[in-house]
Each structure stands twice: as C-alpha cells, then as structure tokens.
A and B are shown apart, each in its own frame.
Chain A
C-alpha cells in the first residue's frame, strides 16, 4: 500500500508541477524512508547487527552514523555517505551489498529527504547504543550468601563455605591444613617474596597461641617488602621498564613511578584511588607530586627513536596501547581487538574503541622534575643568580645605548652607521688649538683646522666642549689641503705623519682613558692602537695604500667614565718622528655618543665593504654582532657570568631526578575512527565515551576526561574491575584465577569455577574500602589457602589443574623472586628500597645481539645484591636471568606470567657466576651459623632453604654428596678457586669447596624455586 503511494508521490514530484503539494512532497522519515530501510537495509544495519557500525532502524541511530563518517549532511545529498552508497559514488561499495540496488524512485526519496534538510534530523536526539547481553561478567556483582555446611570443621571463613560446598557436591573433601613450616614459608614467599629466617620458622612452629597464624599474616603485611612483592605484579601489568624500546632503546627515567607503586602497596592506598591516580592523577584537584608521578602508568609505552619514522604513527600506537592496556588490566576485556574492527565476540564496537581512544588522546607527555628540598633551594638560588646576571647585562647594554637617536637594536645601528656614518659623528667646533712648539693653526670654517709652519716634532692641543649627550667616541680626520706641500694629509712630501700618543683630558687635567683606537688605514708597523700605548717611540702612521688621501682614526672612551654634554675637554696629539715634519697638516675632530661597541667594528666592516664589492653585510650580521659583543671586556664579563650560572643551573637540573608523566593538553585533539586501525584512514569523528555494554556515566558527564573515565571505571556499579582484580589476587595465591582467562572476561574467556565466591570476594573488596591488604588477608586466612599442596592421587586424576581447590598448588617462583630468595638464603640480600635501577652481575656477551650496546657498569657494593624489582630493565635486552625464568618482555601489559621449565633455567641456576656467588654466601652461612658437624650442617641448610628438616633419605643422599666432594677435592688443585671464595679460615679449603658445591645443589633443587 505505502509503496504504491510512494510511487505515486514520486511520479508527481517528477512531473514538477505540483507546488501546491509542496509540503507533502517532502518525504517524511518515519513514513517514507524507514520502510525502505526496513525492507532493504536493516538486516545488516539494524538492531541486531551494525555492519561498519551503522544502524538505520531509527533516526537517532542513523544520526550516529557509521565508522567511516556521518551518514547524512542535511541539505547536501551529494556529500552524504548514505546517498553515495546507494548510487555507488566515492569509495564505498554499492549498497545493498551483493544485492539488487534500490529502485530509482526509492533512491530519489532518500535524496529528496536529504536535500530538503533531512526533516526531523535536528530535533531527534542522538541514539545511545543499547546493548543487551546476558554474559555473566557484564551482570551486576551479586551479593551471595555463603552456603551453610553441615561439617564446618575445616571452615575458617566464607571462602571455605563456597569452596567446600562445591567439593561436597562432587563428593570430595578439602585437604588438611599444611604443616606450620610449610605455611610460614608459603606466606613469606607469597606476601614478601622472601624466605622466613630459621628462627622465625622455629618460633612459629612452636607458637601455641590461637591467633599465631593471624599475627604472622599481620606482621608480614606490615613489612615494607610486601610492596616490593605485590608492586612487582602490578609493574608487569604496567609494562614498566627503564628504556624506550624498539631498536635504539635509549634510557629513560621513570623509576619514581616504580617506587610510587611499591609505596602505594605498602601504605595500602585504596585500590580505587590507586587506579584513579595512575590514570588521571594530573586531573585531580591540586595534584600532589606523587599523584603526578602515578600517571607514569601510561607513560610506560614504547618510544621509537629510529630515524625516518612518522611521529604521529608511534604516538597513535602509544594511545592504542593505553586503551588496550586499560581494557586488559582493569576491565579484563580484549578491547584491543576492536582497534581494527568491531569485536568479533564481545559487545565492543570499533567506534567504542575510538571513543575510549578519545579519552586517552588528550595527553602531553612531559617529564616531571623531582628535586629534593636542598635541590629546590639551590635551584631557586641559581635561577635568581641567572636572572640577576641577565638583568645586569641588560642594564649595562641599555646604559651604553642611551643616546637619543640610537635606541634601536645593534644591527640596525650598524647598518645605519655603515650606510651613513656622518649621521653619528657630530663635528666639533674647537674652542682653541695650540701647540707645545711654534706651530700655529688656522680655522678653515668647516670645523677643520690647518697647521701652519709646523715643527718636525710637535704636540697639538685641541680644546673643545663635549657636544653630544654622553660622549662615547672621538674621530680625528687627517685631511688633505692644497696648502700642505704634497697635499697632505701629513707634512712630509709623501703625505705621511706619525701620531705617537693621544690623550684626552678634562679641563682640570684629569685624564679620560681612551680604550681603543682604530683607523681606516695603517702602515705596517704603525697600527692605530700604537697611538694609545703611552710609548713615545711607537706610532700610528699611514704609509702605503693610496697616498695623499684623507685618513681617519677613531678613539673609544672607556665605559667607566661619563662625559656629558658641555664638559670642557682637551685632546693632546703627540707627533715625533724623523727629521722632516711627520705631523698632521689639516684635521677635524668629531664626537659621537653611538654605542661604543659599534665604533670599531663598524669602521672595520666599512673598510671591507668599501674594498670588496661582493661583501654582503646582511650575511655577516651575526658575525659582526658577535664581534661587537666580544670587544667590550665588561660585556664579556657579564656575559660570562650568565654562562657560568646557567651552566651551574643546567648541571643541577641534570642531577634532579625526573619521571615521565601525563599531562592534559591545553589544545584538545579531535578523534576519528581509524578505518581498519590505520591511523591514516580517518573515519567518523567521535567523542570520548564509555562502552555501552557497561554501566552509565554519572549524570551530567557526556564526554568524560581521563579523571571522569577513571572514576566511572572504579564505580561500584562496574561489574568488571573488582572481579578482575580479586581474580588476579586469587591467581597469585593459587596459581590460577577463579576465572582462568584472567585477562578475558568476555565471551571467549573461560567461566568462573566459583562464580559466587568471585562475587563475594569482589563485594568484600569494595566493602573493605578497596583495601588490598584486607582482601589478601581474608584470602590467606581461609582454610582453602592453608591446605596442603600434596597431590593425592584421586584428586590428581580428576583435577590436575586444581580447579576445584581441594588442595593448594605448588607454584614455581617468579623470576625476580628466585634471585631474591637465593640472595636471601646466601645472607647477601640488601634491604635498601627504591632509587634508580641497579646493575647486578650478568654473563658476558649479552649485547652482541642488540643494535646499541647497553650501559651496564656492574655494581660492586650493596647494589649488587638488591631485590630483582630494582634491576635496571632494558627493553631490548633484559637482564638475562629474568626472561629465562619467564619474566615478561616489558613491551605490553602482562597480567599472568607463564611458568616454563627449561634446560636454560637449569644452566643458569647451575653455572651462572652470580649464583655461584650466592652459593658461596649460603656455604658461609652454613659453616658459621650451623652446628659444626656434617649432618647438622645439612639440616641447617634445609632449614634455611626449605624451612623444614630433611627426611632420612634426603639427609643420607646429601651426606653422601658432601663426603664424595670432600674426597674428590682432597688435595686437588681444583679446590682452590671454590674453597678460597668461602670465607672461613677454621675449615680446610677442600671442605669449604665441598660446602660451596653442596649449597649449589640446594639452590638447584626444585623445592628451592617453588612455593609449596
């Protein structure tokens, strides 16, 4: 029916003569467009499926557009993707895909609707994506009641009720509690990553107080080593390392973030706050330094320093990493899958990925200085000194520049000077000219004077008033004149003269120093400066060059005198050479207040300029300006003062610790969908938002910034974060999480084995104020945790992975912890916390395979024996021990380490020099602290390493080994390198070597690197 009507309407429209029906002629979305879409389009672009992110089942959804772009530009069908897709314009395949096209009439209706301004568009609000899912992890966290058990003998808290109910259902029973020695070793390794001391083990084993276990737990949770152990787990997730990654892999400074993490665990910073500070510490009100350091979490992305890279590409990759890491670590979702296309399994669209991308796309990536209080003071002082020095220079320069007309910058002055020097020289009307001898003078009326009948040696005295504001220089011209024999300027036949000394005096006879002289021409051996050297024999003279032409000499006044306008002055010219009148014939004096610096340079440059046609003044600008500055010793001194203080400041700044942080950009970036994840192919523009499948943003927040996003994430309504987090805690303490795929709570992930327990723990976590220590305590207090890990054959048969929790699990220690424990057993472990990364010994030759050789100055002091969490971590070549024992490559977030078991691990524990050093330490402990007989020593070794007594067979086997080694080493040369290294002079060297080898066996046993 409606189709017929439509066709009728179209036919009318085409006839073009129905203006009376104009209103009806404009298609209506609901009435005319939607039916077409429903018939032809919404199968792929509708409520159930949104190919390319586009949904057409309601105008509000059409308005959202698809991943590529906004679908409709009202009024402009030719620019509207919707229309272009129908007529196969542009780069989109014709729609409907692989199906008959829409009819001409149908296309026309769409076109006319768009061209009419898409009526209804403006009024219709953007539709929010609605996602319905019954997948367990997206449902609100329940508040389950622990089941009541008939037998509560092995129930210590609700955890056990949940676990044992399930066991009962399957006709199984929990394992008994492990013995006390196993428990204290387990707790120490789990909570601190360190061994209990034999004395502590003994005390705990004999402690009969009912709350002995709880007291132990409390004591361990209070230890500062707790943060080192649990902080390390978090650093895996944060992909923390001390270098930039990729090929160059330069060093970076971000260890303050590592220390912040450790410290946050130690002070039990509530987990919601812990996350908010890391995601958005900079956006908190008046953030503290620590909150800024916390944002280093998302600075642990890689930086490619390779030449010829596209900066934007790698910036985008870092932002993608931030989104994916946030998804994996905090939501347990593989949101990274939606970078290139809508998630195949989980309800996360590609557009939603980029909506989260928009949240993290607004960051600058600076360093934050972290000066100590002393450095702060020093810095303030030096900064003040620098600005004082700069101010001094500025004042000095402005004083020098004070003359009326010349206030412009130096370069302009030079240019003007060179092009019209006369502007700057004010000729002087001399008040009186006299001579010491008989010479007389004639005023020629043009400010110049002529000497008449001069003596061979003569001193002229020129008296005058200063005629400029502040006198900075004088110019004396030696001029030609017809009345001079040979035309001058000197009185000799070839026109030469000598100016032996020049002095400037005030009327009272005090001398005004002239500091520099420069002439437009000087003969060899007669440079201008000779006129100022007080040596009666040296002189300025002008032989050579073009004779019988005028010459000039300029004098510069020292800076420390101020001669102001009107001062009475006297210039004395001493001339004494040879037996002919080597004296100036005609002369003129000019004065200037031009900046003193320029005088000389300007004259020199002018000479060049005049001599060399190609001389390009502009090109020389910088050079000339430098010359100017260099000339003045005072200027130089002030300049140097600036340089020195600036260097000190720079030096200080280099010593100040820095850490990489995030900072919100002043200028927001727009974000587009990247079509197929390619940042060069921009799709539709998106605003920051959160995935529709999860809880809503709070009222009033539409485009969340990072802080609002973080707060949304840590909201109690969030079904994921609390579950994901407690599940990982569980994984650390039992080997596997309640949800095995701890980083995938989506549809492809595994289901929780104990869903109610997971929810109970999540609630408990939030109810206890997100206290990590409290929830860990709750777990380790349970019977479930305290069970023996021995594998009963019946349980083993059914449940090798221990999914039912009818026992504890034996778990191989993490890489760092293996080394920590070995250092601990050896009595070598340094308990220093924090600070820059350290360089423990590593095997030679590990940098053969990296592009750039890495710095590794092996530490010799206590830093050699620091905990593994402090080892300097180069991304391209990590400390080899770590990857050998499955420490993750810190290039992407790791939330669960694999646990492999390889020959390379065996070689490392058996032969690595660092481990031999630790075996030596253990041997010394055994010999010093243990009893003085063989079996006693073996027993002590067992207590140190395994917190237990050896059984009879173990004792016998080890005893046999010790005796065997003693025998082999008796008198053997070979004993020396091993025996010598063990410090104990009371014991024969062969025995010492044997104990070292025994300690080595201890550290290579499976039990040593396993928590049971």
Chain B
C-alpha cells in the first residue's frame, strides 16, 4: 500500500514536470536537456512540480546570484549628479543648435530651448578619478566599486511607457518584467520568501503601477510581490485576529490532510502543488515578519544606512534589500519617487537635492555593507531611472530639465562588473552618445548574462511567437564585464 502510493506520487510528479514544461512551453530547453543528461548543475536543481520557483540551472555559469535594482522613478538628472559637461556650462543660456534637435520629440520642451549648465560643482574621487557632483558625497566614497554607463539610450519619452520599457523591454503592457523573467529562468533560492520582491518609497507609487513588476504572459508565480511597510509586508500575511499560531498550524495540517485525501481520489497532481503552496505560505507567515524585524541589526549598521527602524524610508528599504538577498531572494527591486525635475514645482535647486539626500547615503551604504559581508560578489546592484534629463533647461519659473532619452547615466556595482569603469562617452553638451551607446535592450541582455542567462534563449511562446525580454535586440556590454 505504502509502496503503491509512493510510486503513484513519483509518477505524478514526473508527469507534472513534463506537463509543466510542455504546457508552459518553457524556453529553457537547454536546461531541461542539461538536466536529463545529468550535466553538472550550479544550483541544486529542484522539482518544479510543487514549487515553480525551485532553483534551476542557468544557461552558463553565472557571475552573480541575486539582483538589487534601485529604480529612481521619474528620471534623475545625469548633469547634476554624474556627468558634468564643461562645454554645457560654457554654453549656458545659448539656444541649442538645431542639428541636435532636428526630428526629436519632447514631452514639454520647444525646439529652441536654451542650454542649461550643470547646477552643481563636481570633483574627482577615488583611484578611478571618477567625477562626481557635490550632491552625492556618499556615493563618491564608493566610486571605485561602481561601473558607470553614461550612454544609456531608451526609445520612449513618457514616464509610464519608459518605465515599462526599462522593466519589460516593451513600452506597451502585457510583457513580463525583468524580475519575472529571471525567476522564471532560474527560480529562487528563498525557501520561505517570494523570489521577486518589490519595495517602494517616496511620496507616491511609480507611474505605471503593477505591470512594472508583473509577470505578463508568464505564470503568475513569477510576478513581483510588493512588500508593504509594517510588520506584515505581504497582503494577508498575518493570521486572522483570534487565530493563534498553534491553530494556524492545525489549519494548515487539516487542509493538507483533506487535500491529500482528495488527491488520492482524483489523482490530480495540481493538488500536490496546492499542498506545497500552503506549506510555503505558512513558512512565509514567520519568515517575512522576521525579515522585516530590524532589532537584530547593530547601531553601526543602522547608522551607516541612516535608518530609523520605525520609519519607512528608502534607506530602510536598502537594508531590507540586503536582508532579502541574504534569505536567497533572487530579485529585489526598490522604487523611489520622485525624480521628475522639470522646474517649477519640481526643480533642480530645491527638490533635486532633497531627493538625492534621501538616497545618497543609503545607496552607498548598501554597497559597503554587501561588500563587508562578502555578498557583493554574488550580487548585482543597479541604480538608475527610466531616462535622464535634457541638456536644455525647461522655461519654467524655477530651473529644471525635460526628459532625455538619447544619453543618460546608470550605474551598477557587484559581481561580474568591472569596478571603477565608465562606459561610453557623450558629445560635448551631453546630448548624444558618441562612443559605446548602450540601449535598454543591451542593458537587459547584460543583466541576464551576469545571472548566467542567454537573453536570446530565455524565451516564452505566446500568441504564436517566442518572446524575450530583449525583443529581437540586445547585445551584452562586453566592456562592462570583469
């Protein structure tokens, strides 16, 4: 009897595995094949039958295991933070030459806008001699760990579509986000937390909302799970009032037993997945609040990040990001609003320094902290927005810049990335890339590459087409790799 059940379970699992692979048409043919051939697996291969997020082997040995993506929503100004342009300062107040703006489209600017010199002072830091603005003194301390891309290029100039483009490789809705592609590709090592977690800070949510971390046409298991502020970061995480932990245990056990009885009556393997989901949920009820509880962090750590444990902030989210990847969470994304400094209500003089102050110290602290704990080599940290800002000023009552898509700055740090390097060069007013342009799809291809995934092979068949994060484009930025 016992043996029979055991056999049946094994058969079910095997079938379900095949069911999963054929039904979802995983574009990971290579992986499945590699496993069947018994080739060496970098991560412990787990069964996807009961856990769609079980770690999977990558296409090739990865450089990093986890990603922390610090998304600066609204479009930070590269000219005030990272990319001083002496010539731009010189030409301050002059109308931009027509050759730059011919055929270009802007959200708000007119073609004859005047150039605006960088508003802040810059100086060189570190062995790399990297020039940084006075607004980011903390980031200046870690320049030798950072890799800059000064020539990021995107296709769309409105916030919503541009954020979708950065995250999903398409300006339209319906595609899976980067975190979803990654967890679909290689699963997650977190046993009791979601594989893809989203944290948010700033005055409002990022424009674009849930599709930014959605799973698109991939199974829902791969969508980002937003963590909220407070003891219970996940919706419906805590047991109902009046239900003790023991009773929650009774509940899970009764559900499991009764589901198992139904499983033997129907032989439907979905029921074993359901049982596993309840067990995972039960573990999350303990592990998620534990993760959120900062009482175990030292004062030094809290001070380094600038965290008040009782107050929601970007800094606190940075600390959570470290704690999440420590638990094996694959992809952590932080959104911080609001960087949309057009001038007027959101200007470069007052509002930009305020928002920079909210992120400078903690972003740098995150890198330092990961480094001192030996985690940086296994982690890729990304810092940047959906686009940058124009060399032209916007004619409003106080200074600002419009959205700029042709050359903006983004930095990374961590495993597989050449520290202290700077990729790309822009023309003298910082309008266009003149050397090593990096398109969003190139950036995405590179992130996948660092995780051991070939962006051309990570596909999913949907509506008659094999879709990829990088659409039909993208080249890995070889110069960036260490």
A interface with B by C-beta (< 8 Å): 245-247, 249, 302, 304, 306-310, 317, 328, 334, 336-337, 345-346, 741, 743-744, 746, 748-749, 789-793, 796-797, 800-801, 810, 812, 843, 845-852, 876-878, 880, 883-884, 886, 889, 891-892, 898, 900-908, 910-913, 916, 951, 953-954, 957-958, 961, 964-965, 968, 974-978, 993, 997, 1000-1001, 1004-1007, 1010, 1012
Apart from the given pairs A884-B220, A901-B221, 10 other A-B contacts in the complex at a CB distance below 8 Å: A245-B173, A791-B268, A851-B204, A852-B204, A886-B220, A905-B277, A910-B239, A951-B265, A977-B242, A1006-B270
CB-based contact B22/A748 at 8 Å: no
B 1-54 contacts with A by CB, 8 A: 8, 11-12, 15-16, 18-19, 22-23, 52
* Closest CB in chain B relative to A317 CB, distance in Å: 7
Cα of A164 to Cα of B208 in the assembled complex, Å: 50
B223: nearest chain-A partner, CB-CB = A883
CB-based contact A900/B221 at 8 Å: yes
B 278-302 contacts with A by CB, 8 A: 278, 280-282, 284-285
* Closest CB in chain B relative to A795 CB, distance in Å: 10
CB-based contact A801/B22 at 8 Å: yes
CB-based contact A958/B258 at 8 Å: yes
**B residues in contact with A892, CB < 8 Å:** 172-174
Q: Which of B15, B285, B463 contacts A797 (CB 8 A)?
A: B15
CB-based contact B210/A310 at 8 Å: no
CB-based contact B206/A851 at 8 Å: yes
B374 CB within 8 Å of chain A: no
Most-contacted residue by chain B among A797, A800, A1010 (CB, 10 A) = A800
Most-contacted residue by chain B among A796, A878, A883 (CB, 10 A) = A796
Most-contacted residue by chain B among A328, A975, A1000 (CB, 10 A) = A1000
CB-based contact A883/B220 at 8 Å: yes
Cα of A810 to Cα of B271 in the assembled complex, Å: 10
Q: A796-B11, A968-B250 are in contact. Are A810 and B268 (CB under 8 A)?
A: yes
Cα of A911 to Cα of B243 in the assembled complex, Å: 10
CB-based contact A889/B211 at 8 Å: yes
**B residues in contact with A916, CB < 8 Å:** 240
**A residues in contact with B105, CB < 8 Å:** 310
CB-based contact A902/B15 at 8 Å: no
Majority-rule SS of A interface residues: loop
B interface with A by C-beta (< 8 Å): 8, 11-12, 15-16, 18-19, 22-23, 52, 105-108, 158-161, 172-174, 194, 198, 200, 204-211, 214, 217, 219-221, 223, 225-226, 228-230, 234-244, 246-247, 250-251, 254-255, 257-259, 261-262, 265-271, 273-274, 277-278, 280-282, 284-285, 335, 402-403, 463-465
Cα of A302 to Cα of B160 in the assembled complex, Å: 12
**B residues in contact with A741, CB < 8 Å:** 463-464
**A residues in contact with B221, CB < 8 Å:** 900-902
8 A-B pairs with the lowest CB-CB distances in the bound complex, closest first: A308-B107, A247-B207, A891-B173, A876-B209, A906-B281, A744-B464, A791-B267, A977-B242
- Would you mind naming 12 contact pairs between A and B with Cβ atoms under 8 Å apart? A793-B8, A801-B22, A848-B226, A886-B220, A891-B174, A901-B270, A907-B237, A911-B239, A912-B235, A974-B244, A1001-B255, A1005-B262
CB-based contact B247/A965 at 8 Å: yes
Cα of A878 to Cα of B251 in the assembled complex, Å: 29
Q: A1001-B255, A1006-B262 are in contact. Are A910 and B274 (CB under 8 A)?
A: no
Cα of A1012 to Cα of B12 in the assembled complex, Å: 18
* Closest CB in chain A relative to B305 CB, distance in Å: 21
Q: Which of B19, B107, B236 contacts A910 (CB 8 A)?
A: B236
Q: Which of B219, B242, B261, B463 contacts A743 (CB 8 A)?
A: B463
Q: Which of B18, B206, B220, B271 contacts A1006 (CB 8 A)?
A: B271
**A residues in contact with B241, CB < 8 Å:** 977-978
* Closest CB in chain A relative to B433 CB, distance in Å: 21
CB-based contact A903/B280 at 8 Å: yes
CB-based contact B258/A954 at 8 Å: yes
CB-based contact B208/A903 at 8 Å: no
Cα of A328 to Cα of B285 in the assembled complex, Å: 41
Q: A883-B220, A954-B261 are in contact. Are A891 and B266 (CB under 8 A)?
A: no
CB-based contact B250/A791 at 8 Å: no
**B residues in contact with A906, CB < 8 Å:** 274, 277-278, 280-282
CB-based contact A993/B242 at 8 Å: yes
Cα of A852 to Cα of B161 in the assembled complex, Å: 16
* Closest CB in chain A relative to B164 CB, distance in Å: 10
Q: Which of B204, B205, B270 contacts A810 (CB 8 A)?
A: B270
CB-based contact A796/B15 at 8 Å: yes
**A residues in contact with B22, CB < 8 Å:** 801
A885: nearest chain-B partner, CB-CB = B220
CB-based contact A913/B225 at 8 Å: no
**B residues in contact with A961, CB < 8 Å:** 250, 254
CB-based contact A907/B234 at 8 Å: yes
CB-based contact A847/B205 at 8 Å: yes
Cα of A354 to Cα of B467 in the assembled complex, Å: 23
Cα of A334 to Cα of B198 in the assembled complex, Å: 33
**B residues in contact with A848, CB < 8 Å:** 200, 205, 226, 228-229
Cα of A425 to Cα of B261 in the assembled complex, Å: 106
Cα of A89 to Cα of B299 in the assembled complex, Å: 71
Cα of A346 to Cα of B464 in the assembled complex, Å: 10
**A residues in contact with B259, CB < 8 Å:** 1005-1006
**A residues in contact with B214, CB < 8 Å:** 889
Q: A848-B205, A1006-B271 are in contact. Are A901 and B277 (CB under 8 A)?
A: yes
A811: nearest chain-B partner, CB-CB = B270
* Closest CB in chain B relative to A740 CB, distance in Å: 9
Q: A849-B226, A1001-B251 are in contact. Are A800 and B205 (CB under 8 A)?
A: no
**B residues in contact with A847, CB < 8 Å:** 205
**B residues in contact with A746, CB < 8 Å:** 464
CB-based contact B242/A976 at 8 Å: yes
CB-based contact A846/B235 at 8 Å: yes
CB-based contact B235/A845 at 8 Å: yes
Q: A907-B284, A957-B261 are in contact. Are A1006 and B242 (CB under 8 A)?
A: no
Cα of A466 to Cα of B83 in the assembled complex, Å: 84
Cα of A883 to Cα of B211 in the assembled complex, Å: 11
Cα of A642 to Cα of B278 in the assembled complex, Å: 66
A880: nearest chain-B partner, CB-CB = B235
CB-based contact A334/B464 at 8 Å: yes
**B residues in contact with A792, CB < 8 Å:** 267
Cα of A916 to Cα of B241 in the assembled complex, Å: 10
Cα of A974 to Cα of B15 in the assembled complex, Å: 44
* Closest CB in chain A relative to B291 CB, distance in Å: 15
Q: Which of A247, A913, A957, A977 contacts B160 (CB 8 A)?
A: A247
A851: nearest chain-B partner, CB-CB = B207
* Closest CB in chain B relative to A426 CB, distance in Å: 55
**B residues in contact with A843, CB < 8 Å:** 235-236
* Closest CB in chain A relative to B101 CB, distance in Å: 15
Cα of A650 to Cα of B271 in the assembled complex, Å: 57
Cα of A814 to Cα of B385 in the assembled complex, Å: 37
**A residues in contact with B238, CB < 8 Å:** 911
A346: nearest chain-B partner, CB-CB = B464
Cα of A190 to Cα of B416 in the assembled complex, Å: 53
Q: A334-B463, A906-B281, A957-B261 are in contact. Are A850 and B158 (CB under 8 A)?
A: no
**A residues in contact with B15, CB < 8 Å:** 796-797, 800
CB-based contact B265/A790 at 8 Å: yes
Cα of A951 to Cα of B402 in the assembled complex, Å: 69
Cα of A916 to Cα of B209 in the assembled complex, Å: 28
**A residues in contact with B267, CB < 8 Å:** 790-793, 796
Q: Which of A247, A337, A954 contacts B464 (CB 8 A)?
A: A337
CB-based contact B220/A968 at 8 Å: no
Q: Which of B12, B208, B464 contacts A749 (CB 8 A)?
A: B464
**B residues in contact with A958, CB < 8 Å:** 254, 258
Cα of A880 to Cα of B220 in the assembled complex, Å: 13
Cα of A160 to Cα of B247 in the assembled complex, Å: 49
Most-contacted residue by chain B among A328, A1006, A1012 (CB, 10 A) = A1006
